[in-house]
Amino acid sequence: MRRAFCVFAALQNDTTVRAVSKMKLMSNFKEWKFKYPPNYAELPIDENPAYNEPVAVKNAVFSKVPTEPLTGTIRLVCASEDALKYLFDLDPSVAESEDFINFVAGKYQPPGGLSVSHRYGGYQFGFWADQLGDGRAHVLGEYVNGKGESWQPQLKGSGETPYSRFGDGRAVLRSSVREMLASEAMVGLGVPTTRAAALVVSDDHMVWRDKTYSGRAKQERAAVVMRVCPAWYRLGSFEILDKRKEPDTMKTLFEFIIKYHFLSIDSEDEDRFVKFYTEVAHKNLDMVAAWQGVGFTHGVLNTDNISILGVTIDYGPYGFIDHYYGSYVPNTSDDLGRYAFDRQPQILLWNLEKFALALEPILPEDQKQKIKEVQATLEEYVKRKVLSTYLLKLGLKEIQDGDGALIEDFLNLMQDTMADFTCTFRQLAEVDLKDLEDVSKLETRWSLTKIREGKGWGKWVERYRQRIEKENVSEEDRRSRMTAVNPVYVPRNWMMQEAITDAENNDFTKVRFLLELFRRPFEVNAEAEKLGYTSQPPSWSYGLKLSCSS
């Protein structure tokens, strides 16, 4: 029997909560065990004992590598209650225990674990970068929870591996806080993502980082984030095997992934290649459409940062748009704006094209042809997905003639008036359509007050009103549909920056508060309102960008 599981299930739904509340959560972490052997033990694993020296690994999908634990006094920064409960069957109080903290710090390995780093390559900013791999990450084992779901915890920042190249195998607190918060916020926002279970920092394990690439490196504290996913394969996992001419290993990896991670595809099906390609493509394009809907810009859409499972992976210099502009680029290293907000769907298509090429060595001729046919449909597929996402944000479910222009004109109005992406949509859900042009009714709706100054706003509102009528959506339905998909809160860089500054002084209150807030980003939260999280972002945060230094 094939198990069914969902990578990013909205975990707060009633059925899951009821199922879990009946299940006994473990409160003694020493009882928590991995399944042995983990499924990935079936794949070729390199066992070179010189694990912490850079090496071009051959004929393997993983390297067996022990973690290099964080040293010094370790503190728990935060833990995701939902991840612990719903993925790991753990009582959240476990997070405070020494064993659990040691687990996240790479010091304690529960029974049944097998610590490995994954070998992959990738196209970085359009160019083949050869072997990359987990240079500071270790997959620890496979946990099968009480619901039968399989989850693999992975440490990030846990020491050197054969893939470390010139890096030190570590991660710093600021980037780890950002990864932790975004991963869990995406779950609340309904966007497919890897998860994050917990984050620890050392008081005295220091690393050097040049945060702004200014030539002035500083010491920062090392941290480790525990990420969780059913599997960690990327487009680049196949690409390295193509470039290094290892078709047998690629075939093994392919059959393995079908068997364990693409349960809807039969291992005997002759069409499994094209089915696999289509599913990887569709999942990733669904994901990018979801990103566009919440104003998320990944920042580094290299093929090594694209998951085979179609979940958002590797949160680095990402950004959620504040005031809207299509060419928003959060990453200081992306001079040409290759990975700008409005280019993301196109970039995913480019990446998927490379992926089809990488698979060629294992494709039977007819499958090659069929994949080409699928490829020809992908641009239209993602266009419609993005359009539907925006229509839904406006309270509409059908796609009708002229909708593309309706959306484009709305985004242009936002851009011209520097209206806020998240707040404009949300505030549009909060007022009656008939009040939209009455400034006295807009009160605290500051973003709507901005956009209404745009040239052609009145005409746009009229078109919108007619479009709503054409689909026969009542005002009540429009507003409730819109409130369900337009979040009140997203992890804005400025909010996280404040939390990071506190965390660097060992005050984790704000990080923990944000983690809690993003569990329900569609609900107004009194405390968040006091902190100004739906007000205009502070002037100091304008144009805030991030570097890849992490």
Cα-Cα-Cα-Cα dihedral sign, residues 466, 471, 474, 480: negative
CB nearer to Mg ion: pick between 305 and 486: 305
Q: How far is the CB of 169 from ligand AMP (least distance, A)?
A: 5
Q: How far is the CB of 33 from Mg ion (least distance, A)?
A: 29
H or E segment and range at residue 20 = helix 14-22
CB nearer to Mg ion: pick between 82 and 314: 314
User: Six-digit token pair at 304?
Assistant: 């090594």
Q: Please choose which of ligand AMP, Mg ion, none residue 344 contacts, taking the beta carbon within 5 to 8 angstroms, the exact cut-off set by kind.
A: none
CA angle 534, 535, 541 (to 5 degrees): 105
Burial state string for 390-400 with b = 16 or more CB within 10 A and e = fewer than 16:
bbbbbbbeeee
CB nearer to ligand AMP: pick between 38 and 122: 122
**CA 146 and chain centroid, separation:** 25
User: Six-digit token pair at 480?
Assistant: 């409730």
Binding flag, residue 170, ligand AMP (CB under 6 A): yes
Among the candidate windows 31-39, 88-96, 159-167, 301-309, which touches Mg ion by CB under 5 A?
A: 301-309
* Active site annotation includes 432: no
CB nearer to ligand AMP: pick between 66 and 167: 167
The count of other CB atoms within 10 Å of the CB of residue 357 is 11
Binding flag, residue 231, ligand AMP (CB under 6 A): no
Catalytic residue (choose from 46, 134, 304, 314): 304
Q: How many residues does the chain have?
A: 550
Binding flag, residue 314, ligand AMP (CB under 6 A): yes
DSSP-based three-state secondary structure for 45: strand
Residue number of the CB atom closest to Mg ion: 314
Number of residues that bind Mg ion (CB under 5 A): 2
Binding flag, residue 310, ligand AMP (CB under 6 A): no
Q: How far is the CB of 299 from Mg ion (least distance, A)?
A: 11
Among the candidate windows 83-91, 105-113, 165-173, 190-198, which touches ligand AMP by CB under 6 A?
A: 165-173
The count of other CB atoms within 10 Å of the CB of residue 373 is 10
Binding flag, residue 65, ligand AMP (CB under 6 A): no
Q: Phi and psi of 204, rounded to 5°?
A: -135, 10
CB nearer to ligand AMP: pick between 300 and 356: 300
Member of 66, 92, 167, 326 binding ligand AMP (CB under 6 A): 167
Contact 248, 228 (CB under 8 A): no
Q: Please choose which of ligand AMP, Mg ion, none residue 537 contacts, taking the beta carbon within 5 to 8 angstroms, the exact cut-off set by kind.
A: none
Can you give the three-state secondary structure of 129-170, one letter per residue? Answer: EEECCCCCEEECCEEECCCCCEEEEEEECCCCCCCCCCCCCC
Burial state string for 466-505 with b = 16 or more CB within 10 A and e = fewer than 16:
ebbeeeebeeeebbebbbebbbbbbbbbbbbbbbbeebee
Q: How far is the CB of 21 from ligand AMP (least distance, A)?
A: 37
Q: Please choose which of Mg ion, ligand AMP, none residue 198 contacts, taking the beta carbon within 5 to 8 angstroms, the exact cut-off set by kind.
A: none
Q: Please choose which of Mg ion, ligand AMP, none residue 61 contacts, taking the beta carbon within 5 to 8 angstroms, the exact cut-off set by kind.
A: none
Q: How far is the CB of 51 from ligand AMP (least distance, A)?
A: 13
Binding flag, residue 163, ligand AMP (CB under 6 A): yes
Binding flag, residue 132, ligand AMP (CB under 6 A): yes
Binding flag, residue 548, ligand AMP (CB under 6 A): yes
H or E segment and range at residue 77 = strand 74-79
Q: How far is the CB of 475 from ligand AMP (least distance, A)?
A: 46
Q: Please choose which of ligand AMP, Mg ion, none residue 116 contacts, taking the beta carbon within 5 to 8 angstroms, the exact cut-off set by kind.
A: none
Burial state string for 26-51 with b = 16 or more CB within 10 A and e = fewer than 16:
beebeebebeeebbbeebbbbeeeeb
CB nearer to Mg ion: pick between 240 and 414: 240
Member of 69, 162, 169, 295 binding ligand AMP (CB under 6 A): 169
Binding flag, residue 312, Mg ion (CB under 5 A): no
Beta bridge partners of 128: 123
Q: What is the DSSP string of 475-493?
A: HHHHHHHHHHHS-S----H
Binding flag, residue 190, ligand AMP (CB under 6 A): no
Binding flag, residue 135, ligand AMP (CB under 6 A): yes
CA distances from 180 to 79, 206, 518 (A): 9, 20, 11
- Taking residues 283 to 302 in sequence order and writing x for each that binds ligand AMP by CB under 6 A, - otherwise, the string is -----------------x--
Among the candidate windows 151-159, 298-306, 513-521, 537-545, which touches Mg ion by CB under 5 A?
A: 298-306
Binding flag, residue 55, ligand AMP (CB under 6 A): no
Binding flag, residue 158, ligand AMP (CB under 6 A): no
CA angle 49, 169, 55 (to 5 degrees): 40
Contact 304, 121 (CB under 8 A): yes
Among the candidate windows 164-172, 227-235, 380-388, 538-546, which touches ligand AMP by CB under 6 A?
A: 164-172
Binding flag, residue 142, Mg ion (CB under 5 A): no
Binding flag, residue 411, ligand AMP (CB under 6 A): no
Member of 46, 142, 160, 314 binding Mg ion (CB under 5 A): 314
Distance CA 44, CA 63 (A): 9
CA angle 549, 223, 497 (to 5 degrees): 60
Q: How far is the CB of 546 from ligand AMP (least distance, A)?
A: 12
Burial state string for 61-93 with b = 16 or more CB within 10 A and e = fewer than 16:
bbbbbebbbbeeebbbbbbbbbbbbbbbbbbbe
Distance CA 352, CA 516 (A): 35
Binding flag, residue 164, ligand AMP (CB under 6 A): yes
CB nearer to Mg ion: pick between 16 and 124: 124
Q: How far is the CB of 332 from Mg ion (least distance, A)?
A: 17
Contact 426, 446 (CB under 8 A): no
- Residues binding ligand AMP (CB under 6 A): 132-136, 163-164, 167-170, 300, 305, 314, 316, 548
- Residues binding Mg ion (CB under 5 A): 305, 314
> Which residues belong to the active site?
304
